[in-house]
């Protein structure tokens, strides 16, 4: 059974909100994520349920099925491969790629994605540090910790961001917190949880707890 563009977008949202299928997701949360109204979500859930990509009990939220998970991961794979293409080949900035990838991910052509993957040299992560599922939907996840949960004097490397909004990414560009940067926690302000961080052993930057919570690191 084929999915429409709208159905693919909803399924992807459900996959993300359920944290990969482990949690149940509410109608309201989906409406929030999709920027639609709960009434529209109810309609869509019936359709997705008919196509057996979700399990739906009225009034009790939805679970994604194995088939649904597979479909969502394919769309995510396409989204992230296109993002790599835009950044690596067309010189887009990492804050400019999301919208376009949101459209490109719906192009139907297995050959296209296979060739694109090869052309990009089988990348494992997208420009925001998110892992790219392989063609079978397998993801090589790395153990990642939000920067604000690290201890004083701990070191690590920035590997991803939780928030991919242009505003947030441009802020990171400005302060120099790019993916791959080596960091060390120098100080934590007890009052508001904000941090002082050493970047690449040469630059001191300050950031709020909120910002740090959206930066993911591998500890070292």
Partner DNA sequence: TATTATTTTTAGCTATATCTAATTTAATTT
Partner DNA sequence: AAATTAAATTAGATATAGCTAAAAATAATA
- Rounded least distance, CB 13 to DNA, Å: 11
CA–CA gap between residue 124 and residue 103 (Å, rounded): 21
- Per the CB < 8 A criterion, the answer to whether 64 and 54 are in contact is yes
Helix (H) or strand (E) segment spanning residue 55: strand 54-56
58 binds DNA (CB under 7 A): yes
170 binds a copy of itself (CB under 8 A): no
111, 163, 209 from 160: Cα distances, Å = 29, 9, 16
Query: Which member of 126, 131, 156, 195 binds Mn ion (CB under 5 A)?
Result: 126
46 binds DNA (CB under 7 A): yes
Write out the binding residues for a copy of itself, residues 75-134 only, by CB under 8 A.
86, 89-92, 96, 99-100, 103-104, 107-109, 111-112, 115-116, 119
17 binds DNA (CB under 7 A): no
- Rounded least distance, CB 94 to a copy of itself, Å: 14
Query: Which member of 2, 19, 22, 59 binds DNA (CB under 7 A)?
Result: 59
- Per the CB < 8 A criterion, the answer to whether 166 and 99 are in contact is no
Stretch of 55-63, 75-83, 158-166, 186-194 contacting DNA, by CB under 7 A? 55-63
- Per the CB < 8 A criterion, the answer to whether 146 and 215 are in contact is yes
For 36, which DSSP code?
S
Please list the residues that pair with 219 across neighbouring strands. 156
39, 50, 121, 197, 205 from 44: Cα distances, Å = 9, 10, 37, 45, 45
Stretch of 29-37, 103-111, 143-151, 193-201 contacting DNA, by CB under 7 A? 29-37
Site string for Mn ion, 80-99 (x = CB under 5 A): ---x----------------
- Rounded least distance, CB 43 to a copy of itself, Å: 21
């Amino acid at each position: 059974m084929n999915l429409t563009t709208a159905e693919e977008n909803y399924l992807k949202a459900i996959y993300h909100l359920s944290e990969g299928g482990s949690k149940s997701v509410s109608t309201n949360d989906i409406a929030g994520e999709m920027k639609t109204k709960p009434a529209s979500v109810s309609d869509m859930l019936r359709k997705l349920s008919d196509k057996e990509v979700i399990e739906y009990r009225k009034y009790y939220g939805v679970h994604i099925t194995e088939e649904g998970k597979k479909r969502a991961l394919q769309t995510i794979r396409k989204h992230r491969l296109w993002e790599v293409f835009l950044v690596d080949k067309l010189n887009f900035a990492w804050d400019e790629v999301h919208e376009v990838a949101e459209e490109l991910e719906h192009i139907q052509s297995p050959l296209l994605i296979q060739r694109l993957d090869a052309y990009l040299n089988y990348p494992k992560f997208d420009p925001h540090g998110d892992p790219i599922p392989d063609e079978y939907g397998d993801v090589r996840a790395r153990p990642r910790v939000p920067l604000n949960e690290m201890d004083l004097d701990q070191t690590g490397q920035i590997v991803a961001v939780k928030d991919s909004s242009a505003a947030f990414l441009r802020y990171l560009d400005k302060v120099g917190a790019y993916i791959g940067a080596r960091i060390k926690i120098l100080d934590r302000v007890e009052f508001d949880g904000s941090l002082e961080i050493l970047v690449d052993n040469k630059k001191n930057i300050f950031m709020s707890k909120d910002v740090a919570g959206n930066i993911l690191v591998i500890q070292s």
